[in-house]
Structure 1
């Protein structure tokens, strides 16, 4: 007997559900302690089995509806804190204390009860959950570039934003806001014209910038001591991953990959992966690592703050319609691709295009 799904959930579109989402970082999911996650309005509980594998169930006991994540792990099972019902990794109830120590078989009372379980995959320091009912193997988990490779340095930042996936994708791929939100620390307004090529593809939106003299804040002295031209490319991979690449020659590069997990229609948890390599000795980079981490955290906290102001503005009046100019062509492409995702489709051929855009910075 299955417990009902959350009746309070705003039912997402099928295409949004049939996806892998990051539930937590691997280091957040510890042995012997359940972990509570919320994805698309659905509360989940994750736990590690004795062999280290992760499992995920709907966070609700089929007995009285109690939150399973408030319980404990015992004998490789998740134990409800209210009446001690035990669940295995597949959501099967294997023991009901109130009916005694009967073995779990097709004739035992416990065998009748099961909670929904979800496919789980661990990769590149993250724990992913598939929220749909289709075949998870048909959709590969996003592979983080250069994860664990030498001489690359990498780390994660985890933040909660007051925004849906679309607003965050548009923010992470939006260059014009950087001279205002991150003025002086990332970019400053100069009035120069920036040109870019926008490519809207079946499953992605890609922007390649053609401003070779562009500089990225105070990191420029570290990342580009030889004055190499900057190669800057931003990509959105449907349904919820953005990747921003900054490269200077063959020896220096800085990647920002953001994996967006929708908590509900108004909030998202973002797992930002930073990877970099610079033409400096390793001991120098070790000394600079705290400053690089601090710099990126300052930048992302500025985005958290402006996204909150954006959310508050949207809440001020219903049915807001944006006023787009040429610099917002990226936003339009993102909106069109996300609309296709919600329908469970690729971007329609009529909307696939490549165009040149120009804007002042």
Structure 2
């Protein structure tokens, strides 16, 4: 499956340097650990000797040590040492996954990587920018998480007063299909009755707001203001299973000398807002299970980016050509 050929965040580099980490990707369990020469390695989280999880062990001189009998494995998955016997089993080897460290995260690819490295988070570490990170577990598949992050109408109801409130004002949306996904740009977007707009920017400034889906598992929400303020929210979705997604979100913003003060307000507010999304998608998941476990969705014109998300992910999953770039259209929404 081609979705396996992309990079997904497994854990943080800091956590792996401290001890082996148990992670799950596409329903498969892996252990990620600090291997030889400072490298990070990943292999199936199962000792071939007695099938205990290797993530419960430790690392010694770049080798992963099983907590049951002390069998030691190199970063390439090969058995290196059996403490209880002078000989070894040279043919014993655990399946591994591709592993790379970038932006403070450890990324895994369990197939054949289509790119040498993952997509970088914008403005991370750049001068004048402040960044904070979040990690949340969603009881929803990747496509539903991406739709939620890139869906404006839901914010009027789920985040009432915090991020949006119903105004019933007309908004023009420009939809563009791109070579790596799709983008929606919102024009004349209402900004009344919102804690975010009241606290984070001057309501008299002009705003350019774009929501972008980058196949197969990334969303970007980008706000640029005429007074040179700017913030961008990037979420990378890791498919743990068919119904669970771990979402790593990086929020970077530029407000000049106010950056430290803005963070004191912006970071806890972001946790509140994304927590509301977690709760809503959990309610959605539970109700789908209550009605037999199969989602039955009706899609309207207000679901701007969902068709692109579903088309791209279906094409990659089936190893077929992705949707062509170049299509553009305008829609009218009321927010």
Is the shorter-chain TM-score for this pair beyond 0.5, marking a shared fold? yes
Residue of structure 2 equivalent to 1:266: 243
Residue of structure 2 equivalent to 1:354: 328
Residue of structure 1 equivalent to 2:312: 337
Distance 1:353 1:260 in 2: 26
Stretches of structure 1 lacking an aligned partner (at least 5 in a row): 1-13, 103-108
Determine helix, strand or coil for the equivalent of 1:327.
coil
Q: For 2:279, which of 291, 294, 305 is the aligned residue?
A: 305
Alignment of 1:1-361 (within 5 A): 14-31=1-18, 33-49=19-35, 51-100=37-86, 102=87, 109-132=88-111, 134=112, 136=113, 138=115, 140-214=117-191, 217-225=194-202, 227-249=204-226, 251-279=228-256, 281=257, 284-318=258-292, 319-349=294-324, 353-361=327-335
Determine helix, strand or coil for the equivalent of 1:111.
coil
Distance 1:213 1:187 in 2: 8
Distance 1:211 1:345, change over 3 A: farther
What's the offset of the Cα at 1:25?
1.9
Counterpart contact for 1:178–1:187, Cα < 8 Å: yes
Distance 1:149 1:344 in 2: 37
Distance 1:222 1:329, change over 3 A: closer
Counterpart contact for 1:38–1:44, Cα < 8 Å: yes
Counterpart contact for 2:170–2:333, Cα < 8 Å: yes
Distance 1:174 1:288 in 2: 25
Distance 1:302 1:359, change over 3 A: same
Counterpart contact for 1:261–1:269, Cα < 8 Å: yes
Q: Kindly tell me the number of residue pairs found equivalent between the two proteins.
A: 334
Deviation string for 1:273-305 (max 9, x for gaps)? 0000114x2xx4323422211111101101100
Q: CA RMSD in A?
A: 1.9
Q: Give the TM-score, by structure 2 length.
A: 0.94
Q: Give the TM-score, by structure 1 length.
A: 0.87
Deviation string for 1:155-175 (max 9, x for gaps)? 110010001001001100100
Determine helix, strand or coil for the equivalent of 1:63.
coil
Residue of structure 2 equivalent to 1:10: none
Determine helix, strand or coil for the equivalent of 1:110.
coil
Deviation string for 1:129-153 (max 9, x for gaps)? 1111x2x364541111111011100
Distance 2:203 2:27 in 1: 49
Counterpart contact for 2:176–2:327, Cα < 8 Å: yes
Distance 1:164 1:194, change over 3 A: same
Deviation string for 1:162-207 (max 9, x for gaps)? 0100100110010000010000000000011111111223420111
Counterpart contact for 2:172–2:331, Cα < 8 Å: yes
Stretches of structure 2 lacking an aligned partner (at least 5 in a row): none
Distance 1:346 1:240 in 2: 17
What's the offset of the Cα at 1:347?
2.0
What's the offset of the Cα at 1:52?
2.8
Deviation string for 1:182-239 (max 9, x for gaps)? 0000000001111111122342011111125546932334442372111000111111
Distance 2:62 2:278 in 1: 39
